[in-house]
Structure formats: C-alpha cells, structure tokens
Amino acid sequence: MYGFAYHRPASLTELKTLVDGVEDARFLAGGQTLIPTLKQRLAAPDAIIDVKGIGGLGAIERRGDALVIGALATHAAVAASPIVRQAIPALAMLADGIGDPQVRNRGTLGGAIANNDPAADYPAALLGLAATIEATQRTIIADDFFTAMFETDLEPGEIVTAVSFPIPRRAAYVKFPNPASRYAIVGVFVAEAAFTTAALDRLQVPTDGLNSDLHAGAFYRAHLIPIMVKRAVQLALT
C-alpha cells in the first residue's frame, strides 16, 4: 500500500506552506522518474506535492543575453520552441534526443536536473553553458548544483523554478546513446572554446569519478569522451 498525502498547490507561496509542514516530501513534475521509483518501492515519501498546477513555471523566454527556461517546460516544448531554436539550437537538439515522444511530452527540465541521473542529457548543457539554476530561495551556478550522482545542492523542500542559460556564439551537443532508452552512455556539450578538433588531439580523460555500470565501464566511457568531444566540436563548426 502507498501511504502518502497528495497535494497540488497553485502557487509558490502555497507550496512553501505545504513543504514547511511535511517531513519528507517529493515533487511530482513529469513523473517519468518519480512514478517508476514509487512503483519499485525505492521511495516512500510522506507527501507527493504535484507542482504542475503552479502557474508560470513552464515559460520559455529570452532575457537579454540569456535564455530562461521554466522548470516545468517539457523536453518536447524546449525542442519545439522557436526561441530556443534561435538562441541555442544545440539545446533544442539535446531536448529532442531525450528518450522517446512519451518521455519528451511528460518529462521536464526541472525534474531532469533535480534527479541528476549520470546518464541524463541536460546536466552536460548546464555545465557546458555555465547556466544558473533559479531555485525558490536562491540562485545556484551549475558547477555548484550537481554535487554527486543523483545528488544536487537543493535543500529539502526547495524547488527549481527556472534555468538561465547564457547564449553562446556557437555550441553543439552529441551523445553516445543507449540504444534502448536513449539515455547517454556519454554526452558532450561544447560551447565556444578553441574550436579546432586538432586542439583535442592529446585529450585524455582519466577514469576517476566516471560511472561504471552494466551499460559501460569507466574505461570505455573515458575512451569515448575525447571522441565525442571531437564530434561535438566538428558539429559546432558546421
């Protein structure tokens, strides 16, 4: 039996009141990770707080030199957005390559980065573009946000409201996908840098900290990274 309370706040103020009164709450956005996690009994929260009713969190807009995408923007919305396609086409391409149409129509930017799966696509873009994460209490730079596998700097009860991406002169994303899920075995996002593939000839990646799982070992991932970086730079140059 599931034993959690279900809440659907209509505003961030209402959300704050709810989280202040709950010991262990999980947020429901697209549900693409949370629902399977609950079904497998890997999480047993006291409360599920459905954030999809909070207005304004799905907006996509250009603010000066930055592209700001709301946490509830689905991958499909990011992929199809003329604003994203014009400002950072590599980001639209990344979103278009996530999972399958069902996942893209439900999964959200906020959920993807809060989950911080090492095989997810968005974290590479946030790091590559030096994005800033807007959370309910503060802003966090991407380098500080992703702290460890499936871990972020978010405090309990804190939610991501938007991500601000500085618009680069050029960028590209390539991934070596798992053929079944489309999750990244290795995903590389490049922006600006010294844009010649020759500059990467001697790039060697140590295995330290790289994921080893049934999909690929750390040595295989370390071998793939320079190859994928070269492909990303080549793509950005075209």
Ligand X SMILES: Cc1cc2nc3c(=O)[nH]c(=O)nc-3n(C[C@H](O)[C@H](O)[C@H](O)COP(=O)(O)OP(=O)(O)OC[C@H]3O[C@@H](n4cnc5c(N)ncnc54)[C@H](O)[C@@H]3O)c2cc1C
Q: Which residues bind ligand X (CB under 6 A)?
A: 26-34, 51, 71, 75, 98-99, 103, 106-108, 110-112, 114-115, 120-122, 154, 159-160, 181-183
Largest CA distance in the chain: 58
**158 φψ region: left (φ > 0), alpha (ψ -120 to 50), beta (else):** beta
CA dist., res. 2 & res. 121, Å (int): 31
SS3 call for 216: coil
* Minimum distance from residue 165 beta carbon to ligand X (Å): 16
> How far is Cα 118 from Cα 183, in angstroms, rounded to an integer?
9
Least spacing, CB of residue 197 vs ligand X, in Å: 26
Q: Which is nearer to ligand X, 79 or 120 (CB)?
A: 120
Q: Identify which of residues 49 and 229 has a Cβ nearer to ligand X in the complex.
A: 49
Q: Which is nearer to ligand X, 119 or 210 (CB)?
A: 119
Collapsing DSSP to helix, strand or coil, 221 comes out as helix
Q: Which residue's CB is nearer to ligand X, number 31 or number 89?
A: 31
CB of 212 to ligand X, least distance (A): 19
Of 81 and 108, CB closest to ligand X: 108
- Beta strands, E only, 94-238: 132-135, 139-141, 146-148, 151-152, 160-166, 171-177, 184-191
Task: Report in angstroms how near the CB of residue 14 gets to ligand X at its nearest.
Answer: 15
**In the complex, minimum distance from the CB of residue 180 to ligand X, in angstroms, rounded to a whole number:** 8
Q: Contact at 8 Å (CB) between 29 and 72?
A: yes
Q: Scanning the structure block, which residue is given the tokens 């490049």?
A: 190
